[in-house]
Amino acid sequence: MALLPTETWHAVFSALPPASLLAASLVSRHWHAIAAPILYASLSITDALAPAPARTDALLAALLARPRLAAHTKHLHLRWHAPAAPKSPSPDPAPAESTLHTLARVLPTLTELLSLDLLLGPAGACVPPSALLSPCRFPALTSLSLAGLAPSLATSLPPFLAAHPTLTHLRLSDTPSPLPLPPSALPHLHAFAGSPATAASLLPSRPVAHLTLLGAHPERILPADLARMGTRVRVLDLALISVTPPLLRAVSAHFPSLEVLRVRLALRHTLHFALSGIVSPFLLSPHCAQTLIPDQALLAALTPVLSSFALLTELDLSPTDVPGRAQPAEEHSLCATYARACPSLIRVVFPSGAEWWRGGVDGLWVGRCL
């Protein structure tokens, strides 16, 4: 077995789960030389902040002790969180400060990174983002996700982004303000997740097709911001915002290329529209009009809004919290109602988790439970 080519061992070890790969790396020096680069290629740590992010400390210490392994690291994902106990006091971020300083030493050595995900929770404010990101250059970086960093991120991040034209996916979970980037920066950005203000500053000159909006009250999303960000967007995810029918109307007006919409309805606002007669009787089939339960009536209130989406093919309502579970006949009726308002629609996912497709020569709707 020891005479097998290194390539064969590499293929075998690449198929092992991390725990087995770690055990294999301890068998011999030969196996360690093959297994360790594979083990360190993708690093994902979820850590508790109390008393300190010990797992992250151990990982960073290993990278400092074995600098040659840094060249093999392609993906680094660090996610820190507070203790799960609901009555526990908020953790003191100070013990994580030394970990952040060590991270600032390690990050510049990971020059082959393809994806970087830092969700640092309340501890992120201990070290300025510039100390973490400014010394770093990742020539092949395609995906970046940041959350929990200090408020100065909005000013320290633009130089870092401008120096990484390879980025295609960017997620900024707590950056509420616009980013002052030159139009030539991020020329290949395909997917963005962040606040409406940040999205409005990034999207106009970039080929973003997949957009996720975060952390905004629907009434604070300005039509002017939507007008700047929507022309090329084909997939819009509003699962983390309580969406009202007027906001959906604005979306339909400013996102003419939209094909996929994922949305969490604000039921109180939707109920207002349902009770005020926004659901016209001629849009409902006789069976639908007779059998709609109140929760389904709320979903039916979307019908006039859907008529404004010219290219929409998929509607995902699964993030919406609707009490109870609709019957298949009711969901089938809603699918037919939606399709009359939006003829391009071929897939609907309801809050119940049921997924419905329209296909075949007869255009019949077929459903299955997820």
Helix H or strand E encompassing 126: none
- Give pTM, 2 decimals: 0.85
3-state secondary structure of 261: strand
Query: Is 324 or 44 the better-scoring residue by pLDDT?
Result: 44
- How are beta strands 364-369 and 143-147 bridged, if at all? unpaired
Query: Is 123 or 37 the better-scoring residue by pLDDT?
Result: 37
pLDDT in tens, 30-68: 888 888 888 889 999 999 887 788 999 999 999 999 888
29-43, 59-73, 245-259, 356-370: segment of lowest average pLDDT = 356-370
pLDDT confidence bin for 321, thresholds 50/70/90: confident
**Mean local confidence (pLDDT), 228-253:** 89
By the 8 A CB rule, do 166 and 142 touch? yes
Closest CA to 232 of 311, 139, 171: 311
The DSSP string of 159-225 is HHHHT-TT--EEEETT--S-----TTSSTT--EEEE-HHHHHHHGGGS---EEEE-S--GGGS-HHH
Q: What is the pLDDT at residue 128?
A: 75
Q: Measured between alpha carbons, how far is 108 from 2 in angstroms, rounded to an integer?
A: 36
Q: Quick one: CA dihedral 57, 58, 60, 64, positive or negative?
A: positive
Domain borders along the chain are 15-43, 73-80+100-233, 253-275+293-369
pLDDT in tens, 190-214: 999 999 989 999 999 899 999 999 9
The DSSP string of 331-348 is HHHHHHHHHHH-TT--EE
Query: Is 13 or 357 the better-scoring residue by pLDDT?
Result: 357
The contacts of residue 62 (CB under 8 Å, 6+ apart) are 69
**Mean local confidence (pLDDT), 239-259:** 89
Alpha-carbon distances, residue 37 vs 109, 110, 115 (angstroms): 15, 13, 17
CATH dotted code for 73-80+100-233: 3.80.10
Q: What distance lies between CA 91 and its chain's CA centroid?
A: 26
The DSSP string of 34-83 is HHHHHHTTEEEEEEE-SS--HHHHHHHHHHHH-GGGGGG--EEEEEEE--
Q: Name the amino acid, one letter, at 59.
A: L
pLDDT at 362 over 50: yes
DSSP state, residue 84: S
pLDDT in tens, 126-182: 777 778 888 999 999 999 999 887 666 777 889 999 999 999 999 998 888 888 899
pLDDT at 92 over 60: no
Q: What is the pLDDT at residue 291?
A: 44
Q: What is the pLDDT at residue 132?
A: 86
Q: Which of 124-128, 242-246, 343-347 has the highest mean pLDDT?
A: 343-347
